[in-house]
Every structure is written in C-alpha cells, then in structure tokens.
Amino acid sequence: MKLPTFEDILENKICERLVSLVGLIFPFLEIHVVLGPKVLCNTDNAAVNTFFKTNLVGPIAELYSNQVNHIISFIIMVMIFDVCVRKTIPLTRFSRFNIIQGILLDVICSFLGIAYSQLTYLARESTFGELLANAAYFGMVGFIFYAMFMILFGRYPKIPIISEGARLNVQLFR
C-alpha cells in the first residue's frame, strides 16, 4: 500500500477547505483588537461587558498588546502570503485564493482601525462615530463569516475588490 504524498493530502477536499480557512484568522483577530472593544464593550449591561472582556476581546487584546507579538503576526502573515503567491508549497488554487483573500481582508481591517483612530475624539465618541465603528466591525465580521461558509461549501467567496486582488495574485505566478 502506497502512503499518500504531501500533494495528495493537500488536494483532499476536507484538508483543502480547512487550509483555506487559515487566512481568515488574521482579519478575525485584527478586527476584534481594533474595533471589538469599542463595539462589543459599549453596552449598558455590565454582564455583557464582562462576558466580552473576559472571553473574546480580552484574550485577543492580550495577544496583540505586545508590539513584538504584533510584529511576529505580521511576519507570519507576509510569509504565508509569499508562499501562496509564489506557490512554494503545493497548495491548490482554491486554497491559495482564499488564503490571499483573507490576508487582503486583514489589510482592510488594519486600514479601518487606523482611519477610525485618526478621527477626532468628538467624532469617535459621537453617535456618528459609533455608527461608523459598528458598520465597520459588523461589515468585516459579516465578510469573514460569508467567506467561511462559502469555503466550507467549496465555493469561491466573491467580495468586491478583494476577490479581484486575490485572483490577480494567484494568477501572477501560476
């Protein structure tokens, strides 16, 4: 009996879909660090605030609180992006596309966080600022869940602009 090769394992449908979800870790963590505390911990209910601070926002914020951890995360993300673009590991086109798309979503999350933090205090703490934070947070979380479900069903998620950028990067080094 012949043992399966690394390529055979990565071409397996279940493994292909699980590997494709790797790229979505980065935007999930980024959006919860940048806008999670503002959106999730901004309620009048103390029990809900405590729940989110201890179970979701707190542990992720601790991971990103150290600048070294943030830099290591960025380096890992760039290495994964390079591996997917240059095809140094025999990943399927589906996996490479979805990992790159997740990394590009992380770039958008970073942009939203920086743009939100550069608003004046008055704009951030007003109703308009809270509306912007909620729209950005739930929009990105919606894109992440949409991409997860589409990947698990074996389909390509179509996110405007992001999907086109991922497609161009996948085709760059066939």
Taking only the tens place, the pLDDT of each residue in 86-97 is: 888 888 888 889
CA 25 to chain centre: 5
Average pLDDT over residues 56-61: 79
Please state, in angstroms and rounded to a whole number, the distance separating the CA atoms of residues 20 and 66.
28
- The pTM (predicted TM-score) of the whole model is 0.86
Structural domain spans, the chain? 15-172
Average pLDDT over residues 143-169: 90
Please state, in angstroms and rounded to a whole number, the distance separating the CA atoms of residues 41 and 62.
16
Residues 157 and 150: beta-carbon distance below 8 Å: yes
- pLDDT 10s digits, 107-120: 999 999 899 989 89
The residue count for the chain: 174
**Of 62, 157, 78, 145, which is closest to residue 110 (Cα–Cα)?**
78
